[in-house]
Amino acid sequence: MYNILICDDEKDIVSALSIYLSTENYKIFTAFTGKEALDVVAHNDIHLVLMDVMMPQMDGISATAKLREQYNIPIILLTAKSEDSDKILGLNIGADDYITKPFTPLELLARVNSQLRRYNRYREAIASAEPVKDTYHVLGGIELNEETVEVFVDGAPVRLTPIEFKILLLLMRNPGRVFSADEIYERIWNEKAVNTDTIMVHVRKIREKIEIDPKNPKYLKVVWGVGYKMEKQ
């Protein structure tokens, strides 16, 4: 059983999340300030932290920075839509993911399960004294496993063709980097690009499978006149 710490100064939110995650067989610990969160982690075997950003005494950003000094456990920030700068700062100082309020229980559970799968794989590799291979990629709600050739979006499996998988892998290995259609073609087919229209078709199909709204993509973006990229989350 995994132990999850929920830290939020709004007791109603802590209570609701505790009830929901408990039904999924997680053991729940609670805190209402960043300082309390540090104390809980110091005295218990916590496997994942859900950390609100705006809290009294010590906010979630400061608490995350303190935790990262000693622990490698997954930390998911709970943020408001207006806190874009906090999202960026939180990810830069060590948070693994963020989820924007208001969110659905299913979205929260998908993010939690995603981070725990990744953390469990890390712990198993450490325990067996094997190096952790960088073959498991997570970008927001998208998970890509090179070894098993699997893709999940918000916890649900997605079926991609071999070419679609290779294109998505290339982009997810390099989040934020723009690849031209020519470069994608040459890397995937290992030959000089002649007609790159096929790239546009594959990108459209990938979007239809990984995006909630393919016409307004969250992940796979077009940089007009330049190429394609996976947006950093």
User: Which distant-in-sequence residues (6+ apart) come within 8 Å of 178 by Cβ?
Assistant: 223, 226, 227, 228, 229
Residue 132 pLDDT > 60, yes or no?
no
Assess if CATH 1.10.8.60 describes domain 3-127. Answer: no
| Nearest-10 crossing angle of helices 197-210, 162-173 | 80
Q: Pick 74 or 133 by higher pLDDT.
A: 74
Confidence of residue 89 (pLDDT cuts 50, 70, 90): confident
Confidence of residue 70 (pLDDT cuts 50, 70, 90): confident
Residue 122 pLDDT > 80, yes or no?
no
Task: Give 52's strand partners.
Answer: 78
- Rounded to an integer, the average pLDDT of 127-136 is 64
**Cα–Cα nearest to 233, from 77, 107, 112, 91:** 91
pLDDT of residue 50: 96
pLDDT of residue 128: 64
- List pLDDT tens digits, range 4-49: 999 999 999 999 999 999 999 999 999 999 999 999 999 999 999 9
Q: How many CA atoms lie within 13 A of 227 on its CB side?
A: 15
**CATH class held by domain 136-230:** mainly alpha
* Cα(91)–Cα(97) distance, integer angstroms: 7
Which residue ranges does the chain devote to CATH 3.40.50.2300? Answer: 3-127
Mean pLDDT of the chain: 88
User: Which distant-in-sequence residues (6+ apart) come within 8 Å of 83 by Cβ?
Assistant: 53, 54
- List pLDDT tens digits, range 48-57: 999 999 888 8
Q: How far is CA 168 from CA 34, 41, 42, 138, 180, in A?
A: 37, 36, 39, 12, 14
- List pLDDT tens digits, range 135-169: 888 888 899 998 889 999 988 899 998 889 999 99
Q: How many CA atoms lie within 13 A of 24 on its CB side?
A: 17
Triad 11, 37, 55: Cα angle to 5°: 55
pLDDT of residue 174: 92
CB atoms within 10 A of CB 168: 25
Residue 2 pLDDT > 90, yes or no?
yes
Which residue ranges does the chain devote to CATH 1.10.10.10? Answer: 136-230
